[in-house]
Amino acid sequence: MTVFTHILDGFSRQRGVRASLVVSAPDGIAIESNLQMGEDGSRVAALAASLYRKARKSATAAGLGTTGFLQLEAEHGRLCMLGGEEVILVVVTQREANVGLVRVEMLRAAESLA
């Protein structure tokens, strides 16, 4: 068990959450993950890290400051991300999931890690 295990376990209890991961921001490698059957953690980790890095660069270039919660909404679900320069918390949900509850839980998790 690591410091991330308890945090990721909390997401798995939320309805509609398919995966939760802690990802290394610089290289997109999953540090720890809690995945349902059929989820590919390495692909999700790489995608999330790439998107989050690009969003951070774009926000900075636009003079908007640092990036906070980032959500990608797609046909079959959502990819929710929150993090910094070193670590990103990633949650994959079904389309029907309550993303507000997921966001609140992600913000609490980020506070506990800080």
CATH code of residue 56: 3.30.450.30
Which strands make up the sheet holding 30-35, listed edge to edge? 30-35, 17-24, 87-94, 77-83, 70-74
Q: What is the pTM of this model?
A: 0.91
Among the residue ranges 51-55, 73-77, 97-101, 110-114, the one predicted with the least confidence is 110-114
Number of structural domains (the chain) is 1
C-alpha to C-alpha distance for 38 and 102, rounded to whole angstroms = 21
Q: Tell me how far apart the alpha carbons of residues 8 and 50 are, in angstroms, rounded to a whole number.
A: 21
Higher pLDDT, 45 or 1: 45
Give the pLDDT mean for 73-89: 93
The average confidence (pLDDT) of the chain is: 91
Containing structural domain, residue 72? 5-113
List, for residues 14-68, the tens digit of each pLDDT value: 999 999 999 999 999 999 999 986 778 899 999 999 999 999 999 999 999 988 8
Is residue 114 over pLDDT 70? no
What pLDDT, on a 0 to 100 scale, did the predictor assign at position 51? 95
